[in-house]
Each structure stands twice: as C-alpha cells, then as structure tokens.
Amino acid sequence: MSTTDVHKAVQEAVVGALGVSEDEASPDATLMDDLGAESIDLLDILFRIERSTGVKIAASDLGDYIQGGIPDDRFSDDNGIISAEGLEHLKTVMPQLDEGASLEAEHVIQHFTVQNLGDMVAQRAAAGAGA
C-alpha cells in the first residue's frame, strides 16, 4: 500500500466514522478540536483503518506515538508545559505545531490532525512491511 493510499484510507475512515465530508476531513483538520472526535469515534476510526490497511493501532498508541517514548518528567515541566526536548520530538510527528509554542502535554493530542494520523499509519505500515 502506497503512502498516498494510506492517507486516502485514513481520510475515508475519518469520514466514515465521524459522518463529516471529505472537505471537512482535510489533512490539516484536527481530529478532536475541529472534527469533534471523542473516544468512541477514535476507536471507530482506528478499527476502520485496521480493516482497510491491516495496520492495527490501539487508542493508547496515539499518546505513545506523540510522546515518542520520552518519559513524562522529561516530556513536560512541573506545570505540565512541554519541554524543549518534547517540542524537538513533536516536530517529527506533528510538524505543524508552532516552534516555541507553550503547549500543555495533556492537551497536545487535541492538535493531532488527519495528516498526523496518516503519517503514523504510513510509518506503521512501512515498519510492518519491512518486518
């Protein structure tokens, strides 16, 4: 499956699960803030993606992917604001985020876009194909 196909499949999953139009499920739309996805919607999206792409992602994987394996105490400071190290990692998985932004770790997932999810699935698909 090509990267383009993966992104198409992710968009279709978002459209199908949330009942939004393809225009609304644009690459830069955030799943939670813009499209209003809740936990059951995310689950639906992930099961649809598994069905169409064969890539299995658990809802809990999303947070792990965003945080990139950086321990909590290094990902954010005592006030819950994402650290420089955290921001450095976020550039790779959520490149649309403003550099130097003051982001709360707890809320960063709300900025996760359709494009970000597509990238994640494509990465998993490539890793799976290579394994």
Partner 1 sequence: MSLEGRVALVTGGSRGIGRAISEALAAEGAAVAVNYRATKSGAVEVVKGITDAGGKAVAVPGDVAEYADAETMIKQTVDELGGLHILVNNAGISRDALIFNMEPNDWLDVMRVNFGGVFNCTKAALNHFMGERDGVIINVSSVMGERGWVGESNYAASKGAINSFTRCSAVELARFGVRVNAVLPGFAPTELVAGLIDKDGGKGILRQIPMRCFAQVEEVANTVVFLAGPGATYMTGALLTVDGGASTVLGVGAPL
Contacts with partner 1 by CB under 8 A lie at 17, 40, 43-44, 47, 50-51
Nearer to partner 1, 13 or 94 (CB): 13
Least distance in Å: CB of 93 to partner 1? 26
Cβ contact 93:24 at 8 Å: no
Q: Taking Cα atoms as reference points, which of 61, 58, 38, 62 lies closest to residue 50?
A: 58
Least distance in Å: CB of 85 to partner 1? 35
Least distance in Å: CB of 49 to partner 1? 11
Nearer to partner 1, 45 or 108 (CB): 45
C-alpha to C-alpha distance for 114 and 20, rounded to whole angstroms: 13
Cα angle: 128, vertex 7, 14; to 5 degrees: 110
Least distance in Å: CB of 13 to partner 1? 12
φ/ψ region of 26 (left if φ > 0, alpha if ψ in -120 to 50, else beta) reads beta
DSSP for 120-131 reads HHHHHHHHHHH-
Nearer to partner 1, 41 or 93 (CB): 41
Nearer to partner 1, 14 or 105 (CB): 14
